[in-house]
Chain A
Amino acid sequence: MNYELVCGLETHVELSTKTKIFCSCTTEFGGEPNTHCCPICIGLPGTLPKLNRTVVEYAVMAGLATHCEINPDARMDRKNYCYPDLPKAYQISEYDQPLCRNGWVQLKSGKKIRLTRIHIEEDAGKLVHERGNTLIDYNRSGVPLIEIVSEPDIRSIEEATEYVETLQTTMRYLGVSDCKMQEGSLRCDVNISVRSKGSRQLGTRTEIKNMNSFSHMTKAMEYEMNRQIDLLESGEKVVQETRRYDESTGCTEGMRGKEDADDYRYFRDPDLVPIHVSKEMLASIQARMPEDPQKRLERFEREYSLTEADAALLIERRRAADYFEAAAKGTKNPRTVANCITGQIFARLGTDAAKDDFQVNVSPENLNALLRLLDAGKIRTSQMKAVLEKMLDTGKPASAFLSEKDLAGISPEELQKLCEKAAADNPNAVKDYRAGKEKALKAVLGAVMKTTHGQANPMEAQKILAEIMKA
């Protein structure tokens, strides 16, 4: 029989607010254990949560970017369960009134993956097992998360990967999360079932918890899909349960069944008031939303005559795209600007992480100034590239590497004279040219460039020479 995968994802995205969701501790990753903590995020008796408004703003941005309806009156609830990394024995989350509902994410194929909801919640601490002891680090406790829940619209592993990548790009673009899977700022729970192709009924699903890399996710999905198909083929049933992926064996294994499922005893958190998202607040967030990446790509192609490939390279990283727009302002050839960034600057940055961060010691204004020199014909492309290298080495502006003479360039009158002299010095070439050998001009042009040590604008010189030589 032919089987089809049916998959829905729960994606946890850590928000990159400076402080935690209910206190003013830093959200910075790492740090000595239990140094980013206070009485509130370690849940000491008597403490109360105070909602960080930036968390709401970021979550609303995530919702708007994924076409969600924003709930004007969202509520926070307590999800009760007992585990040492959860110091209050409940997680503050949103149950029946999440902040965002009914959105979608579009794949390249044009297919839309529907989103059920996006809600905000707090992260738990982390257990560290060390020499037979279990230690608890609460640095992550209270770091804000959004959970993005999709409908079971995904039909292949490729779609699942593309969906997560799209979320990753979108969230990074918004600046609401760095979505680093290896640091745990993006984690997925995968809900999987299989059914015979063409069937409209859903099969029994299992949930694989905590996928923290694309390769694990792909492998876990492949394994789980095949496991379920094997079960069905041999006439057995899939049991609804939560499963764990074991990286060393590449298998998934059962954690707990449906009957052991936790009863979280959700109820409204009486310590928090409803989250009102007013029309004014929504409008102000909307106004601050960065341009949609897809629309920006189209605009880059149109406005700056970039190829789709070049535009995509820039758009992929919001900081690079922003840098490009600042550097390209008023230049004659934005493509050259794009090439500087995707070529020399990206080469300098090296890693993907560095390209994301885009910490470049040449300001876009300085790059803009350099390119205006090129536009003005004061320097040539090869010179521009060499100067840019020096600028990247030192962080100094172009003027630091170009002499007065370099910058003065060659005046049109001077160039005219130089060309006349070169033509006079090469009578044979002039004769050949007049006989129809167009290549002969190149020899004379070479002479002009040689005498000017490459400072002359070859295009200009060629034009002048053609005038002189045809006469």
Chain B
Amino acid sequence: MGQYGTIARLHSLLSEKRLSCTELTRAYLDAIKKENSALCAYVKVTPETALKAAAKVDAKIAAGEPLAPLEGIPMTLKDNISTKGIETTCCSRILKGYVPIYDATVWDLLKKQNAVLLGKSNMDEFAMGSSCETSCFGGAKNPHNRKRVAGGSSGGVAAAVSANLAAFGLGSDTGGSIRQPASFCGVVGFKPTYGAVSRFGLIAYASSFDQIGPIAPSVEDAALIYDAISDYDPMDSTSIGRKAPVSPALENSIRGKKIGIVKEYFRGVRPDVDSAIKKAVGVLCSLGAETVEFSLPAISYSLPVYYILACAEASSNLGRYDGIRYGYQTKQHFADRNDMVCKTRSEGFGAEVKRRILLGTYVLSAGYYDAYYKKAQNLRGTIIQSFGEAFRKCDFIAAPTVPMTAFPENYAAKDPVETYLTDLCTVPVNIAGLPAVSVPCGFGNDGMPVGLQLIGPEFSEAPLLNAANQYELASRKTSFRSVETGVRL
């Protein structure tokens, strides 16, 4: 263990007093100051919060007290995770100036470990997008090539981690929003089983899909973070909590494990991405795993199912932003309350959010409900069932995270439907509530990172991350490239 782990390395630097937490935190804050204007990974930097936490950690170190695994580790949160006293905007104009009066459960858990919050990171507006470019602050750039996007929606977290501007971060994944930017930025992104991590305090996009998870430089780090944030939370009725800690289970052989290769996941995949994935599967096989090929026809319906259901939920979740209680209110003259709400929402939401609210409102409307929403719900059941059958044939499914590498800038804005199609490999997991991890697995012809996606059955976090870790240990030298920016210790 500890081979590629950043968190473990920082933990030992702090514990052995080779570096104070304040020094470490300052190093990150300085790097952010230097690099962030070009990368746009952070939308808000919180030096005071960070240094206060660092001082606490230093006092503990001075007193000779042992440190928790994430204690003193500088990190970031996606800007849809509520932080008491720190503006939380979902990168939407409509929430500008909104300062939560309570903490999200995940942040509460990390705070208790004295994790050092460097700032809130960039995202697509309300997590709707695949490029981070729907952010009202402008999108985060890809640290591997700044002419490319960081991906989305958790683009800011992925860019920050990739550019060494944070040791790790928490994102949220509704249709691929952790895995896709992690794949684009060449880092590890892990979406846990729905219910494993509390959603309390995560500003909702599509409640039955949203799941918080870690973005980190290595699988080992992702496992440590997952162990810290997965817990039963009475404040979230859909919370189940984790079954057992994952970190101690990353050293197991994957000999004899069956890797499912599902035809539908390889449709329309760019050839260079396809060959990177096949090569990665080869590495898994060299470690003793076996492949089984089969078809899962039901997942072909994933995109319409996802966009109908997620937009339906979004249209309801975003109804509360009316300019009355918090956030943005129109500066224009308004005739009455209705006029005020209309103007506020027209000015406050961006085009992609409006598109999804309209779509969601439409599919729930009387006369259309049966044709769209109900049908999509039924198909969701079919997809869940077919995954259940798939996992009787294999232990994990291996697939590309994205059928391509990071888009050029403004690519996503040109054709929304084509952009939706790039979510093909990530959304089935959210529909079924399954855990999935994206691990860097080399580079495309354009030199941009490619992500290998491993998907497991519900609550298979431990064997899933073990397999990802075994792959990483076997291939890191060729599959991963560090970016020459930020804090590198």
Task: State the A residues within 8 Å of B (CB).
Answer: 39, 42-51, 78, 80, 82, 84, 87-90, 134, 136, 263, 265-267, 270-273
Whether B325 contacts A271 by the Cβ 8 Å rule is: no
Measured CA separation A87–B317 after assembly (Å): 11
Whether B208 contacts A270 by the Cβ 8 Å rule is: yes
Whether B322 contacts A44 by the Cβ 8 Å rule is: no
Measured CA separation A51–B204 after assembly (Å): 19
Q: How many B residues touch A, CB cutoff 8 Å?
A: 43
Residue from B81, B235, B237, B313 whose CB has the most chain A CB atoms within 10 Å: B237
Nearest 10 interchain pairs by C-beta? A89-B319, A270-B208, A265-B364, A270-B207, A45-B203, A46-B201, A46-B82, A46-B203, A263-B366, A89-B320
In angstroms, how far is the closest chain A Cβ from the Cβ of B124? 16
B366 neighbours in A (Cβ, 8 Å) = 263, 265
Whether B207 contacts A82 by the Cβ 8 Å rule is: no
Residue of A with least CB distance to B206:
A270
Q: List 7 A-B contacts (CB under 8 A).
A: A46-B82, A46-B200, A46-B202, A50-B236, A87-B325, A263-B366, A266-B364
In angstroms, how far is the closest chain B Cβ from the Cβ of A12? 22
Whether B312 is near chain A, meaning CB under 8 Å from some CB there, is yes
Using A87-B325, A263-B365 as known contacts, say yes or no to A48 and B319 having CB atoms under 8 A apart: no
Task: State the B residues within 8 Å of A (CB).
Answer: 80-82, 88, 90, 95, 98, 100-102, 104, 199-204, 206-208, 234-238, 312-313, 315-316, 319-320, 322, 324-326, 337, 341, 361, 364-366, 369, 373
Whether B200 contacts A48 by the Cβ 8 Å rule is: yes
Whether B207 contacts A271 by the Cβ 8 Å rule is: yes
A87 neighbours in B (Cβ, 8 Å) = 320, 325
Whether A80 contacts B316 by the Cβ 8 Å rule is: yes
Partner of A50, one of B80, B81, B235, B369: B235
Whether B319 contacts A80 by the Cβ 8 Å rule is: yes
Measured CA separation A432–B348 after assembly (Å): 107
Whether B316 contacts A46 by the Cβ 8 Å rule is: no
A134 neighbours in B (Cβ, 8 Å) = 337
Whether A270 contacts B337 by the Cβ 8 Å rule is: no
Residue of B with least CB distance to A39:
B102
Whether B361 contacts A48 by the Cβ 8 Å rule is: no
Whether B235 contacts A39 by the Cβ 8 Å rule is: no
In angstroms, how far is the closest chain B Cβ from the Cβ of A257? 16
Whether B101 contacts A39 by the Cβ 8 Å rule is: yes
In angstroms, how far is the closest chain B Cβ from the Cβ of A66? 28
Whether A49 contacts B203 by the Cβ 8 Å rule is: no
Partner of B237, one of A45, A46, A51, A265: A51
B322 neighbours in A (Cβ, 8 Å) = 82, 84, 89
Given A46-B204, A82-B319, A263-B365, 4 other A-B residues pairs in contact with their CB atoms under 8 A: A46-B104, A50-B235, A265-B315, A265-B366
Whether A267 contacts B104 by the Cβ 8 Å rule is: no
B204 neighbours in A (Cβ, 8 Å) = 45-46, 271
B100 neighbours in A (Cβ, 8 Å) = 39, 44-46
Partner of B341, one of A47, A49, A78, A82: A82
Measured CA separation A51–B235 after assembly (Å): 10
Whether B325 contacts A90 by the Cβ 8 Å rule is: no
Whether B319 contacts A44 by the Cβ 8 Å rule is: no
In angstroms, how far is the closest chain B Cβ from the Cβ of A111? 35
Using A48-B237, A272-B237, A273-B237 as known contacts, say yes or no to A42 and B325 having CB atoms under 8 A apart: yes
Measured CA separation A51–B234 after assembly (Å): 10
Measured CA separation A47–B315 after assembly (Å): 17
Measured CA separation A291–B202 after assembly (Å): 47
